[in-house]
Structure 1
Amino acid sequence: MQYQSFLIKYAEIGVKGKNRYLFEDALVTQIRHSLKRVDGDFIVSKESGRIYVNAESEYDFDEVIEALKCIFGIAAICPMIQVEDNGYEDLKKQVQSYVDEFYEDKNFTFKVNARRGNKKYPVNSEQINRDLGELILHAFPETKVDVHKPDVMLHVEVRNKINIYSHVIPGPGGMPVGTNGKAMLLLSGGIDSPVAGYMIAKRGVKIDAVYFHAPPYTSERAKQKVVDLAKLVSKYSGPIRLHIVNFTDIQLYIYDKCPHEELTIIMRRYMMRIAERLSEESGAMALITGESIGQVASQTMQSLAATDAATTMPVFRPVIGFDKQEIVDVSEKIGTYETSVLPFEDCCTIFVAKHPVTKPSLKMIERSEEKLEEKIDELVETAISTVEKVWC
């Protein structure tokens, strides 16, 4: 016997007020979009605090669960059977059939947890608990009741129809993507920035991304690595429009004109300026980076302040307080780690200074940037006008 229905539970959405329906509708839309990639026909519906997925054809159970586990806003996935209200005696038969079908080994402890959402139902929740517990004990003598730590928690929800389930699979939590605006992710081939994009998307933010490519100093394989990372993050965030910027001429010009200990900071400042321009065109309201305080020279407090001064947009750094292992743990969980550690260098590592400044003065950085005035605006405009856009 295969489950034909799933109860989708949310958490944070439930504390919303009169606009809760907007978040529910966004979650329903996300579920429908994700299930399009799964073989089978599904109907996604909602009713007063509940979202249901009903299979209308044969499907792969594991494939559906994996798709649902990538949708932000879902707190739990409950495979269930949903039956019509054909009277109390019929409910007892359905519960007995459920236990018999889905538990081949009946040697387990259990508890019945009934909720009577339909207050017109003639039997209250406590009575349902007692009656169904007694039914299971008599039908399956191997079972035992344990109200504290049962092996099986049997949920029975009496609503317009009756939901019966006992498996609760954790979802990713968060908020449905698209309910909290759009931001632009500065995506590199490293470990940190894909994790940053994942974490911001988890808060309901739709993300675009920008990658700074430096051919011939970085290879096509390095670019493909970033495309692959964007595709992995898009499993959770939804489709990502990746902007690939040819940054070579800008980097070479900065390398030629500016003090080498300031290279990383000045290059980062121009990346932020270009990302801001692309954000304005795409409707993004903030920038996202994978920076963590103190991890490298360009991520000290002074360096981050100097970088932020190049843009008027808010800059979100969701891994700012994480140590490296914490970031690695998240990257392994979301499946980006193995791709991130592939040995293809990006533009930041190619042009890194031997002794980068760790406490830059903003006034000195701006003074150094004055040496770029002859050509830098033209180079930036060329980089923006020749951006390659890839949907991931």
Structure 2
Amino acid sequence: MRCVIVHYHELALKGRNRNFFEQRLVLNIRYVLQDLGVKRIERLRSRIRILLPAQLDDQIVTERLARVFGIANFSLAESVPLDLANPDLRELMRGAAEAVQHRAFDTFRITAKRADKRLSLTSMDVERAVGEHLREATNKKVRLIDPDLTVYIELLSKEAFYSTGKIQGPGGMPVGVSGTVACLISGGIDSPVAAYRMMKRGCDAVFVHFTGRPLVSRASEEKVHELVKLLSAYQRHSRLYVVPFGEIQREIVARAPAPYRVVLYRRLMVRIAGEFANREHCWGLVTGDSLGQVASQTPENLCVIEEASEFPILRPLIGMDKLEITEEATRIGTFPISIEPDQDCCSLFTPAHPSTKTRLDDIRKVERALDIGGLVKQGIDKAENTTFTFPE
């Protein structure tokens, strides 16, 4: 029987709540495979088994499961029946030999795990028996350290599974177990990585983008659509709010001292994003801030910006440097999109010498000259929203 065996790590530590986390993981797996004809997904002993239709392409299954948070690793496997009291390994040996016959290798090892300790054979007994059979069948050498090929065997109550490789999953927690957060996404390198990290911790992500329109083109919006579409492969659906921010910035420029503009922009952004967070039943806002990277990300300015938000502001990248963030963006695939040229609203009307140690009393004094409520309402009323689903 052709199947996938899914393993998870962190979920196994959840004690009495483990059932909830496992059910959510199964639900997410079922969702990403539903259009491929997969009907049976079962929870076994600390693992999940997915029964695959006969003609289903392994590559498609691999690509989908590699983006399901909560999966530590998985194997494309075959199964044979197993009798606990009187185990007969001949069918397991034959299947393992068939699985490796078209593989190019000189050395191999067998790694067996016994999930049900009532089995009369130990893991080492199985490794020796199957290893000896493969050695005779292939005339290849056994090497326990760094072999060319590893055959993985999992022994359950009524079945044994064998596979010739493990595929790394993204790890983390299943999306949906940690509520919903609103992610401010700029189209740059940092904010998509911040959203990815929160999704990996089990959060559903709603996205809010501030564009310089009507003073600039839609280039940044097109980039953000691509980024959200890519990130939607890690959760079942995403909603993106695009807020035209150019006129709001022009109002700030006309009425506020230049050094405070950047902080004022950000305080208005978190207020507007907070309104969408309320609408989407979020519990927090997420930004791509990295401590000290730009003027708005100094300790003093971060504190002043957060004061304007009714939600906690989560900053998963706060202790990372640009190289670390870029490496992660490259790994998850957002980097090539993020570096495409665009016209970012944050670069509009940027002062030559922005304040890096803004005091809350000073910024409140400046805001008295602005119709903050009216500007927030303007941003909300003119916002556009798009929904993305995966699979499309």
Whether TM exceeds 0.5 here: the answer is yes
**Match 1:78 to one of 75, 78, 85:** 75
1:146 aligns with 2:126: no
Structure 2 counterpart of 1:136, one-letter code? L
The C-alpha deviation readout for 1:191-238, integer Å capped at 9, x for no partner, is 110110001111111110111123222212321211111111111233
In the superposition, the TM-score normalised over structure 1's length comes to: 0.93
For structure 2, which runs of at least 5 residues remain unmatched after alignment?
none
The C-alpha deviation readout for 1:166-196, integer Å capped at 9, x for no partner, is 3011111111001111111001111110110
Query: Does the 8 Å CA contact 2:96/2:151 hold for their aligned counterparts?
Result: no
What secondary structure sits across from 2:369 in the alignment?
A: helix
Query: Does the 8 Å CA contact 2:100/2:164 hold for their aligned counterparts?
Result: no
1:368 aligns with 2:366: yes
What secondary structure sits across from 2:319 in the alignment?
A: coil
The C-alpha deviation readout for 1:132-170, integer Å capped at 9, x for no partner, is 2222222222x2222333333322222131111230111
**Match 1:114 to one of 104, 112, 115:** 112
The C-alpha deviation readout for 1:10-39, integer Å capped at 9, x for no partner, is 1111111011011111111111111235x4
Structure 2 counterpart of 1:386, one-letter code? K
**Match 1:261 to one of 244, 259, 262:** 259
- Once residues 95 and 146 of structure 1 are traced to their aligned partners in structure 2, the CA distance between those partners, rounded to angstroms, is 18
The residue that corresponds to 1:184 in the other structure is 182
- Report which stretch shifted further, 113-122 or 318-327: 113-122
What secondary structure sits across from 1:19 in the alignment?
A: helix
1:388 aligns with 2:369: no
Query: Does the 8 Å CA contact 2:92/2:160 hold for their aligned counterparts?
Result: no
What secondary structure sits across from 2:193 in the alignment?
A: helix
The residue that corresponds to 1:47 in the other structure is 44
- Please list, as runs of the form range in 1=range in 2, the aligned pairs for 1:145-294 lying within 5 A after superposition: 145-159=142-156, 160-294=158-292
What secondary structure sits across from 2:89 in the alignment?
A: helix
- Once residues 387 and 183 of structure 1 are traced to their aligned partners in structure 2, the CA distance between those partners, rounded to angstroms, is 18
Number of aligned residue pairs: give it.
Answer: 386
**Match 1:34 to one of 32, 41, 55:** 32
1:305 aligns with 2:303: yes
Judged with a 3 Å threshold, the aligned counterparts in structure 2 of structure 1 residues 191 and 90 are, in CA distance, closer, same or farther, namely same
- Once residues 34 and 315 of structure 2 are traced to their aligned partners in structure 1, the CA distance between those partners, rounded to angstroms, is 32
The residue that corresponds to 2:100 in the other structure is 102
The residue that corresponds to 1:56 in the other structure is 53
- Once residues 98 and 383 of structure 1 are traced to their aligned partners in structure 2, the CA distance between those partners, rounded to angstroms, is 62
Query: Does the 8 Å CA contact 2:214/2:247 hold for their aligned counterparts?
Result: no
What secondary structure sits across from 2:16 in the alignment?
A: coil
- Once residues 129 and 308 of structure 1 are traced to their aligned partners in structure 2, the CA distance between those partners, rounded to angstroms, is 57
The residue that corresponds to 1:337 in the other structure is 335
What secondary structure sits across from 1:149 in the alignment?
A: coil
Deviation at 1:283, TM superposition (A): 0.6
Judged with a 3 Å threshold, the aligned counterparts in structure 2 of structure 1 residues 40 and 285 are, in CA distance, closer, same or farther, namely same
Deviation at 1:42, TM superposition (A): 4.5
- Once residues 215 and 130 of structure 1 are traced to their aligned partners in structure 2, the CA distance between those partners, rounded to angstroms, is 68
Which ranges of 4 or more aligned residues in structure 1 deviate by more than 6 Å?
A: 86-89
1:351 aligns with 2:349: yes
Query: Does the 8 Å CA contact 2:177/2:202 hold for their aligned counterparts?
Result: yes
- Report which stretch shifted further, 170-179 or 44-53: 44-53
Judged with a 3 Å threshold, the aligned counterparts in structure 2 of structure 1 residues 107 and 173 are, in CA distance, closer, same or farther, namely closer
Query: Does the 8 Å CA contact 1:40/1:58 hold for their aligned counterparts?
Result: no
- Once residues 386 and 283 of structure 2 are traced to their aligned partners in structure 1, the CA distance between those partners, rounded to angstroms, is 20
Judged with a 3 Å threshold, the aligned counterparts in structure 2 of structure 1 residues 246 and 139 are, in CA distance, closer, same or farther, namely same
The C-alpha deviation readout for 1:321-365, integer Å capped at 9, x for no partner, is 111111111111111111111111121112321221111112111
What secondary structure sits across from 1:134 in the alignment?
A: helix
- Report which stretch shifted further, 19-28 or 120-129: 120-129
- Once residues 99 and 292 of structure 1 are traced to their aligned partners in structure 2, the CA distance between those partners, rounded to angstroms, is 52
- Once residues 225 and 275 of structure 1 are traced to their aligned partners in structure 2, the CA distance between those partners, rounded to angstroms, is 19
Structure 1 counterpart of 2:75, one-letter code? C
